[in-house]
Amino acid sequence: MHRSHSYALAAGTAVSAMLLLAACSGGSASPSASTAAPATASVDLSDVCPATVVVQTDWNPESDHGALYQLLGSGYTADIAKKTVTGDLVINGESTGVKIQIRSGGPAIGYQSVTQQMYTDTSITMGYVSTDEALQNSAKLPTKAVFAETDKSPQMIMWDPATYPDVTDIKSLGTALAKSGGVVRYFKGAAYMSYLQGAGYLPASVLDGSYDGTPAKFVSAGGKDAQQGFASAEPYIYENEVGAWKKPVKFQLIYDTGYQFYPESMSVRTADEEKLAPCLKKLIPVMQQADKDYFGDPTTANTAILDLVTKYNNGWVYDQATADFGAKQYKDLKLVANGPSGYLGEMDSSRVQKVIDLSTPIFTKGGTPPKSGLTPDDLFTNEYLDTTIKF
């Protein structure tokens, strides 16, 4: 997604002091902090992969991308102007013989989607592309997911439990808002909101697409209104860092309403898959292991993430407490989990088909119809995954 999964917020005592909060799916097993011997002990990628594997992310450095930064060796170099970082691509602390370059998204690429950027700059090896984004762009800018780094999206709708003590989920929230005259504020054009309306979770009368990324309207409504958000950040930020709020919020994941896309899946341009296949066969298991390692101990990657946030200095406010909260939320909410066959990174064909069925009418109505006759096999493959790597 052009980051429908992004946020930036500064702590403060008044709403006027806060910075931009910009717009930032199923197995049953959740991550373990086990330090069991890794499945990929030593790997040489130099014979099959590009000398530098370039990965385009959809936002600034954050713990949501922790598994990617887990691959970054300690002697990295940051390009402050371009908001990129380059270093040895490592696993278990050992170099794989190639470099990795991690490129920030969002403001660093003019808020283009990752898909658009991958087709604008073909030096990018792979990038974060969610299922619904891949579907929407399948006719003109096709991409194929090769690894689901995250199983469920942290995207959510949040509300004030003090104002709405009887609200337990998004559907009951819709009923309560219709009675109170409150609204759900969100970024206009979000596909999930069209789904929530069409599926009867939220009536059209409570939808407000004027969200601008800041907490001002949510705070000034005094709890009457609800808002989009991300479970990996806003619950902590609003309770601890938004000085004019500093109260808990309650939320439900969009995933739990049935809109179960895979977020930020590692993807390649479809036409490049065959050429990259030898690399992907060795690289993707390394990425699986890094995902497992990060959620076992996020310390090293989070240190790099926070260092880069400071170096880039672009207004993105992200601190240690928020990073730690995000990593913990991913485990507690099982946003990272084994796939249906019991291994990490697997995508489910029936789930992808459901996204196709739900989203095709939405995108067609919006003027970006997906490729005709599209099947799940066009959007993803599990071919390169190591089935022994699991949480």
What's the CATH code of the domain at 342? 3.40.190.10
Instruction: Convert the pLDDT of each residue in 341-366 to its tens digit.
Output: 999 999 999 999 999 999 999 999 99
The residue out of 257, 275, 299 marking a domain boundary is 257
CA 350 to chain centre: 21
The pLDDT score that the predictor gives to residue 40 is 52
d(CA 322, CA 33): 19
Least confident of 245-254, 276-285, 312-321: 312-321
What's the CATH code of the domain at 190? 3.40.190
Instruction: Tell me: do 164 and 243 sit in the same domain.
Output: yes
d(CA 53, CA 102): 9
d(CA 238, CA 244): 9
Instruction: Find the domain containing 177 and state its range.
Output: 155-257
Instruction: Tell me: do 72 and 129 sit in the same domain.
Output: yes
d(CA 156, CA 172): 15
Is residue 389 over pLDDT 70? yes
8 touches 60 (CB < 8 A): yes
Instruction: Tell me: do 290 and 370 sit in the same domain.
Output: yes
| Residues paired with residue 210 on neighbouring β-strands, in sequence order | 187
The pLDDT score that the predictor gives to residue 350 is 98
d(CA 227, CA 207): 10
The answer to whether position 107 is within a domain reads: yes
The answer to whether position 357 is within a domain reads: yes
Pick from 268, 254, 283, 234: nearest CA to 89: 283
Domain count, the chain: 2
**Token representation of residue 323:** 């990073």
pLDDT category, 212, cuts 50, 70, 90?
Answer: confident
Instruction: Convert the pLDDT of each residue in 37-80 to its tens digit.
Output: 344 568 999 999 999 999 999 999 999 999 999 999 999 999 99
pTM of the model: 0.88
